[in-house]
Structure 1
């Protein structure tokens, strides 16, 4: 079945119907229409999958998809256009440019925690770039997966964008096949398997993974506001967000404040019993519930800690004075547990972060601009947000992705288009002016070699349209100034001659 769908997608791609910009725009508009028309069904599916509030569905998923589609529709002609580049002396008269072109058939493997956004945003880029795409939603978000399987063929080209449902077996079958690119979002363990499978076919990959994203709270900042923002980012979607703050770093003198402010914020957000709040979700399944509960073993929560395995419910939980080498600090939590680790100062926090794998995101709460700059310069992460959490994800002009163990490649907006395009180098020249090329042909001598060396060592020349316009304007102004000066000199010379003539006449 999987092989048949791939072959179908390849044949549809080879037919060329995905290449015209008009077709891509039509498919993007259709996807946009699907999101608008089926919002209620999507919200219902997410409620069944992960107990997501109907009000959170647009905020956390659908709006970001709509924004990506709108941007792609607006900018597609610009993104897909040839991109002129600088030229050398050897190619000054040639047409030299980069032409983005489709890769072919892309495999998109989505994630269960945000099953619509993390599946459809890469699809937006695949469509915009002119590719075909086989879509594999996560089997853990079962209702969303089945709904996507039912809806997508009703709106998009069935041959170019098939949906494959199923579990691990179906994903493994897909990974045995040869795609032109694999876009995977999920955990690092499965990410390694995806990369290993892709290596057999030399298939390029985009891996959007996760990791332990640190959150440093400086003692001199507005700690109450910082805790409010951290509490939202950590416990939204029941902590099942790849860029959620994984743990807090702070000095011992403010640890008590941090705990109390988070406690107050949780009461405001979810009431005295978060289990009864329509805004608080649930863990995706029993396996993940058991894993998260095992991470709490040996700790006494200072906030929360309650659970109900029959509903896969774990309360928003805060743990303080967590040892740096504990299991809780070795694994990505991906749940509603928030450990607090104390550090002596910012330098200690920087060292703590740098001693571990590079995180997907880094969060800094600080009022000192020099300190903020230092922390950014002396650490590495996929992205960074200062005095808030997760908001860098919402900016389509910023590349979103990891570094090192937190992933490779990036996407959002034009970055998705470029990630799923081949940047083809193009040079078009005439068969005329052959004398220019004589210096590179044999037989070689010292004079020819010197000419070639000088040409190759010359700086690149910017021949873009804007640069040429300014060059023409500057040339015209220069010529105009030269002519003006020449006329002034001629007039002056003429007046001088006239004066001499009349002086001689009177004498």
Structure 2
């Protein structure tokens, strides 16, 4: 038995009272969460700066503003989402009516990562509350200031029997995974995702895994080089590349290879030009081990731009790597940092072969005006989601589902898709008792003929 079994059972007892289910109550709690975030914006920003050196503008855009948008969208549509859905089509036998009822699971576990430690803890919680569940949130120990702040903020806002926060390291996460939750939601690496999935399988607990992968940026020869470079550089500079959907590497058509490299250098210089001026903060790498991993990649190719780093500050500048050997380790692992390898291609067949060496990236980006290539990109490459002629933006709208496929994850969330993730859709057929279908309980050839007429 897990040391957290009692916590889960207390939440399941609270859930059984029905208190979390009325739409009015769900809205009340979402508004309380929004107010708690709003009242403590400065403390959240300071915690994120302390853990990851994020500027207040970047932290607000990626960790707070998005949550306001998500909560507001959910509040606007929640009543409709919660309504039972009556079917137009009839069940097999006359007199019946089919209805689908969205119902909460009970007590859900949310395991949050370190790279967006506030947003990726709260975003799934919004969906869990909206669907009528209780929740336990486990923040990352790699970002202790944000983890402590999450504990302080959520315990002041909600009773533990409704929303609880458990802090701790990997052993804490393992103990939580042994508890009898009704649903698991994990964001992190594929390696840890496998362990979460195995733990869920032991208890047959339904789950969502938001993982990662090597997300390519593909640049065709007809792309606008300046806009392409600016948008790829922006996606890579964000959080110092520690973003699950950051462009992991570039494949550029050989005809515009040099043009893109020149444009990328200018874009990185432009986006980093205030680095030594007062008020500019560029995120640092999360810990020394991750920093050392980035340094180890530098010898695998030619540094075409950047490469500066300082271990005392865990500062690592945006870096372009070229001339990579075919067996380069950096092309086998998700980088999750500010290094950007650039490869060349001659045909789109080469692109598909390279991307498919690492199946199912979480994101993919294509820069071209050619409609046939856009269609080929969408239909012939398997990835979670992405953009054409931009990066990152596909995860910013609550109207678009976000999630991976295969090795990059299972399940989706954001907006209505979060509500769906944390809801079980219960199908009910209500059958009339005013009459009985003739011959329903008979057997034999005559009944077989009647049955065939129903299909």
Q: What range is the shorter-chain TM-score in?
A: over 0.9
The range that moved more, 3-12 or 93-102, is: 3-12
Q: CA deviation at 1:273?
A: 5.2
Counterparts in 2 of 1:76 and 1:92: CA distance versus 1, 3 Å:
farther
Superposed CA RMSD in Å reads 1.6
- The answer on 1:426 being equivalent to 2:428 is yes
Q: Per the alignment, do residues 402 and 91 of structure 1 end up closer, same or farther by CA in structure 2, a change over 3 Å counting?
A: same
- 8 A Cα contact 1:410 1:419, kept in partner: yes
User: Matched residues in 1 for 2:277 and 2:346: separation?
Assistant: 36
Following superposition of structure 1 onto structure 2, how do residues 165-204 of structure 1 map, counting pairs within 5 Å? 165-204=167-206
| Equivalent in 106, 112, 131 of residue 110 of structure 1 | 112
Deviation at 1:343, TM superposition (A): 1.1
Cα distance in 1 for residues equivalent to 2:192 and 2:276: 32
- CA change 1:17–1:273 in 2 (3 A) is closer
Q: Which sits farther off after the overlay, 143-152 or 299-308?
A: 299-308
Contact 2:209 2:410 in 1 (8 A): yes
Partner in structure 1 of residue 445 of structure 2: 446
Which piece of structure 1 moves more, 265-274 or 204-213?
Answer: 265-274
- TM-aligned CA deviation for residue 274 of structure 1: 6.5
Provide the rounded CA distance (Å) in 2 between the counterparts of 1:30 and 1:191.
Answer: 31
Q: Which moved more, 1:317-326 or 1:408-417?
A: 317-326
Larger mean CA deviation between 271-280 and 184-193 belongs to: 271-280
Q: CA separation of 1:96/1:287 partners in 2, compared to 1, >3 Å: closer, same or farther?
A: same
**In 2, distance between residues paired with 1:113 and 1:340?**
24
Match of residue 375 from structure 2:
373
- Label 1:445 to 1:196 Cα distance change in 2 as closer, same or farther (>3 A): closer
How many Å apart are 1:144 and its aligned residue? 0.4
Q: Return the structure number with greater helix share.
A: 1
Distance 2:73 2:22 in 1: 18
Give the CA deviation at 1:29: 0.5
Displacement, 1:92? 4.6
**Larger Rg over CA atoms:** 1
Residue in 2 that maps onto 1:489: none
Show the counterpart of 1:243.
Answer: 245
The question of whether the paired residues in 2 share the 8 Å contact of 1:242 and 1:334 is answered with yes
- Pick which of 172-181 and 44-53 moved more: 172-181
Counting only pairs closer than 5 Å after superposition, residues 67-146 of structure 1 correspond to structure 2 as 67-88=69-90, 90-146=92-148
Q: 1:315-349: per-residue Cα shift (whole Å, max 9, x none)?
A: 11000122343100000000000000111122211
What count of residue pairs does the alignment treat as equivalent? 453
1-structure distance, mates of 2:210, 2:79: 27
Using the alignment, how far apart are the partners of 1:101 and 1:43 within structure 2?
Answer: 35
Partner of 1:356: 358
Match of 2:160 among 158, 161, 167: 158
CA, structure 1 residues 387+202, in 2 after alignment: closer, same or farther (shift >3 Å)?
Answer: same
For 1:185 and 1:324, the matched residues in 2 are separated by 31
* Shift in Å, 1:298: 3.5
- 1:339 correspondence with 2:341: yes
2:14 corresponding residue in structure 1: 12
Counterparts of 1:417 and 1:93, CA distance in 2: 32
Does the residue aligned with 2:194 lie in a helix, a strand or coil? helix
Q: Structure 2-normalised TM-score?
A: 0.96
- Give the match's secondary structure for 1:388: coil
Residue 2 of structure 1 is matched in structure 2 by 4
CA distance in 1, matches of 2:370, 2:302: 34
Report the alpha carbon displacement of residue 356 of structure 1 after superposing the two structures with TM: 2.3
Deviation of residue 117 (structure 1)?
1.2
TM-score (norm 1): 0.87
**For residues 260-302 of structure 1, what are the alpha-carbon distances to aligned partners after superposition, in whole Å with 9 as ceiling and x for unaligned?**
1111112211117569872421001111111111122333311
3-state DSSP class of the match of 1:203? coil
Whether 2:259 is the aligned partner of 1:260: answer: no
Alignment gaps of 5+ in structure 1 = 458-507
Q: Quick check: 1:440–1:452 contact (8 Å CA) kept in 2?
A: no
Contact 2:5 2:180 in 1 (8 A): no
Alignment pair present for 1:270 and 2:272: yes
Q: Secondary structure at the match of 2:414?
A: coil
Change over 3 Å in CA distance of 1:337–1:343 after alignment to 2 = same
Secondary structure of the 1:220 match is coil
- Alignment deviations for residues 482-501 of structure 1 (CA, whole Å, 9 cap, x no partner): xxxxxxxxxxxxxxxxxxxx
* Residue aligning to 1:486: none
Asked if the contact 2:90/2:97 (under 8 Å) is kept, the reply is no
Which residue of the partner structure matches residue 27 of structure 1? 29
Q: Which residue of 1 aligns with 2:212?
A: 210
Residue segments in structure 2 that go unaligned for 5+ positions in a row: none
Q: Which residue of 1 is the match for residue 331 of structure 2?
A: 329
- Please state how far the C-alpha of 1:21 moved relative to its aligned partner: 1.3
| Deviates further, 347-356 or 115-124 | 347-356
Structure 1: distance between partners of 2:357 and 2:331? 12
8 Å contact 1:71–1:413 — kept in the other structure?
Answer: yes
Equivalent of 1:304 in 303, 306, 311 = 306
Describe the shift of the 1:89–1:6 C-alpha distance in structure 2 as closer, same or farther (beyond 3 A). closer
SS in 2 for 1:250: strand
CA distance in 2, matches of 1:237, 1:273: 14
